[in-house]
Amino acid sequence: DHAYDTISGGDWLADQDAVEAFVNEAPTEMIQLEHWGCPWSREPDGSVAVRPFGGMKIERTWFAADKTGFHMLHTLFQTALKFNNLKRYDEWFATKLLVHDGRCQGVAALELRSGQIRAIAGKATILCTGGAGRIFPFTTNAAIKTGDGMGLAYRVGVPLKDMEFVQYHPTGLPGTGILITEASRSEGGILINKQGYRYLQDYDLGQPLDIQDPNHPQKRTMELGPRDRLSQAFVKEGQQGRTIEGEYGDYVHLDIRHLGEKKINKKLPFVRELCRNYVGIDPVHELIPVRPVIHYCMGGVHTNIEGETPLPGLFAAGECACVSINGANRLGSNSLTELLVFGARAARAAVRFGAQAGDIAVEDIIALAEQEQRRIRERFFQPKGGTETIAGLRGELTHTMESGAGIYREEESLQATCDKVRELKERFKQVGLTDHSLTFNTELTTALELEYMLDVAEALAHSASARTESRGSHQRTDYPARDDERFLKHSLAYQTDGDPRIEYLDVVITRWPPGERH
């Protein structure tokens, strides 16, 4: 069931060998996390509690109240502190992968305290830098999710795979984009439009629509349909004038009042905290304003099932990578589990590679790092009258991505976005820094982040323009049908001196031939 839900939810673009490995290894990794101290929520009899998430036929999602990612993060970090042979480089910023003799031998990184670029050598390098949601104006992603790891790999010739597939989460707070977790809907929250009507019952969410019994399981779980379809339903409600106009665009309401204060405090305490702190409402008594916001990049650095990229010595895992288990639309709760399974797989592969790799060419990679130091000094610290601002370019980038490569896309808007990103990359050359200090120069790191964002946006827009079909989160109004004959393939975007080169790679099919999404 887990494998089928993942593959069907991903609209058959997931590599099925990777999905099978994922679902088989996930329980072991989750139990390992339990042994390390992750406080999974429990039933009264002591068994691990589960809840349903979007696109699932059965309840299988383990959780820790509504702070699952937070608790996983701290469990892993605190466990890592036990090992004295781990050296952490806190407050360093990676600017370039150091490639010598055909393999990655480390990174050039900026020490924020001193402003110096240093070579950090490694027989194997693993990218785990997360997504790139900040190339859009409304996102659940943290401010640092600017696609750095994807950009690092892209610049040394590694392709970015399936970048056109970007997941909107249907329930983010307007303005901030802060996530109101899917747990709020799995516990019984409902979405209503400005008329107070539960509008999802009017849309095809991959479930039969002729069910009259409101207590039927498929009626109760309409809010747990696939995230892409819930976000598309929101757009259609807006087209009918049934959304609410607000300062940060249209929104609808999420209603969890009927759950009661006791259940909200037990199962959704963080949701209540976020609503109080960022909207000034109490969801025990008031409706929560929500709108679709960018949540997750299904695409990323091209890897195989072991987390290996085409560049020897370079590996990737998590949201910055595309293995691909998520296909055209990620299943709810698979991302945190993916971190465990493919983080471990990438680490084991990196250890195997390091054991047989030759010695690091220390002098050569130090020279490469010094060359990177000169590039950054000459580019950003020479006194020249830059006419462009970082904030101005970033604002134009997020606007063009939302308008041209948002929930619904078509050729004209995608071409406009491709043209705009090309223009912004050219204008970026005129960005000048007002802060020329070396110590904790946040203006410099923000400029470097924008450079990564432009690269990732370029790959995304051109991949979307080239895929003339609709599949999962990639919805083309000018090509509304899924086209398995031409596009049951992964896209691969390679950086060139001009626009990216788009190639295609067959999807791995093992046991589940392509069918209709359910």
Q: Is 36 exposed, middle or buried (0-12, 13-18, 19+ CB in 10 A)?
A: middle
Is residue 422 flagged as an active site residue? no
Burial of 498 (0-12, 13-18, 19+ CB in 10 A): exposed
The residue assigned the tokens 């991949």 is 463
Q: Which residues are paired to 50 by β-bridges?
A: 62
Residue 220's pLDDT is what? 53
* Residue corresponding to tokens 């409304």: 138
Q: Give kind and range of the element (H or E) at residue 284.
A: none
Rg (CA), the chain: 23
CA distances from 240 to 236, 272, 350, 403 (A): 6, 31, 52, 19
Of residues 169, 462, 476, 482, which has the active-site annotation?
A: 169
Closest to 471 measured CA to CA, from 226, 132, 140, 238: 226
Position 213 scores a pLDDT of 52
pLDDT (0 to 100) of residue 244:
96
b/e sequence 107-135, b meaning 16+ C-beta within 10 Å: bbbbbbeebebbbbbbbbbbbbbbbbbbb
**According to the model, what pLDDT value does residue 210 have?**
43
Q: Which of 2, 103, 185, 272 is flagged as catalytic?
A: 185
Q: Tell me whether residue 169 is one of the annotated catalytic residues.
A: yes
Taking the chain (518 residues) in runs of 10, the rounded mean pLDDT of each run is 92 97 96 95 92 78 89 96 94 97 97 96 97 94 96 98 95 91 89 94 65 49 82 92 93 95 92 94 96 95 98 97 95 92 98 94 96 93 80 96 94 97 95 91 97 98 98 94 96 96 97 84
Cβ burial of 80 (10 Å; 0-12, 13-18, 19+) is exposed
What tokens does 262 get?
Answer: 């006791």
DSSP code, position 471: B
DSSP 33-99: HHHTT----B-TTSSBPEE--TT-SS--EE-STT-HHHHHHHHHHHHHTT-TT----TTEEEEEEEE
Tokens for 135?
């190339």
- Burial class of residue 480 (count of CB atoms within 10 Å of its CB; 0-12, 13-18, 19+): exposed
Confidence (pLDDT) at 214: 53
**pTM of model > 0.85:** yes
The amino acid at residue 261 is: E
